[in-house]
Amino acid sequence: MKQIVIIGGGFAGINVAKELARNKDFTITLVDRNNYNFFPPLLYQVATSFLEPSNISYPFRKLIRRFKNVTYRMGEFHEVIPAEKKVILSTGTITYDYLVFATGAETNYFGMENVKQNALPMKTVNDALLLRNHFLQVLEQATVTADVAERTKLLTFVVAGGGPTGVEVSGMLAEMRRTILPKDYPEISGHGFEGHIYLVDGGGKLLKPMSEKSQQDTLDELTRMGVEVLLNHRVKDFTNDVVTFTNDKAIPTKTLVWAAGVSASVLPGIPATSYGASRRLITNAFHQVKDLENIYAIGDTAILSGDDKFPDGHPQVAQVAIQQGKNLAKNFEAWGVGKPPHAFSYFDKGTLAIIGRNKAVADFPLSRLHMKGFFAWLIWIFIHLASLINYRNRMRTFYNWAGAYLTRDQSLRMIIRPGKKE
């Protein structure tokens, strides 16, 4: 039996494991620093108190326990030694016949140390919980301060990054300001809402990968919701409660949500010649990493060459990761029986972004169809429910969404701070 080691249990890694789960020719070890899989597109709803972490997460061990040839290993990747086919983890060493990197991407601060120290990212469940606590804490502080300038600073939220995450966070904050703050925080609404919600982006468009119609519709809807969209504004620094931009504009705030960029991680043991743009591993059409044997990369951590439609690499979205994971699994099976592998070809099923209640945009390139409003919102709801990893997550998420939709409220706004013993 061939031993496959998968580093990373996100969309890409989990789909390799699931596709090969009952194939007796392979044993699979899934390695991840967390003991659970989670659904990144809905992290912003955890951060804004509309979902609990358990709604979008599921334990690996429970997920794979019905598969006899799949095991899970909790650990942090430290180094690969290709000559010995060995992976060193924080929890020990594993040997492999095939090694798959599906480590995703990490937040890119573009070398701005103050932004890295002071901004709030949203790439993990931990990030989302920290952001949720922060949002609730600044609201509580705003209820007791008598200083108008300080209250304005506390109630001003800057979201950096005009992609789907930035749009969704700023739209959700605008919905909360309109429907929840007047009920939960009468001390604030009694003064009139003195803060601002800014969505800033260094480029000239929101939702850059989407159609011009979607970009304009999103800009119009966010503006109507009271979000102040600042395009061509590149963040330069965030220190002393002030976000500054390269055009010298400055915004006093306690909150900078960083959704402005990602890059892959450097993987010790991988030669420098194997890396491409944003530290992504260069692979051929069969996902094999450049200049290495029996080592593969898929998902956000990879930049695949050989697809003429995507000369600069595929977009770092869930559908690419899912399709690459399934394709690599099929190739492992093909290699195992001496058949030729399948070159990866991405099938773009469409792109969606939610803006707010009954508001979303959708592009379907195959039919050249653009949608907006309620029906696009319904499609977004259906796709995201279907994409959750099992029926329990789908039912819990649907229950929370239905309650929030009917009541325009949610009961998850609790500040929970895990502590340490002295």
Q: How far apart are CA 285 and CA 26, in angstroms?
A: 22
Q: How would you classify residue 192: left for phi > 0, otherwise alpha for psi between -120 and 50, otherwise beta?
A: left
Look up residue 231 and give its two tokens.
């395009």
Which residue in 19, 168, 175, 221 is the catalytic one? 168
Alpha helices, DSSP H, located in 41-105? 43-47, 53-56, 60-64
**Sign of torsion, CA 206 241 115 142?**
negative
Q: What span, in angstroms and rounded, lies between the C-alpha atoms of 279 and 187?
A: 48
> Which tokens belong to 115?
């932004």
Give the helix, strand, coil percentages of the chain, each rounded to 5: 35, 25, 40
Q: Are 99 and 297 in contact (CB under 8 A)?
A: no
Only one residue has tokens 């029996």, namely 294
Burial of 367 (0-12, 13-18, 19+ CB in 10 A): exposed
- Structure-block tokens of residue 250: 């400055």
**Type of residue at 310:** F
What distance in Å separates the CA atoms of residue 69 and residue 16, rounded to the nearest whole number?
A: 13
Is 140 catalytic? The answer is no
Q: Which tokens belong to 104? A: 């995703």
Give the whole-angstrom CA distance, residue 223 versus residue 305: 39
| Residues 6 or more apart whose Cβ sits within 8 Å of residue 396 | 52, 54, 55
Tell me which residue has tokens 């939610």.
354
CA angle 401, 407, 409 (to 5 degrees): 75
- Active-site residues, by number, are 168
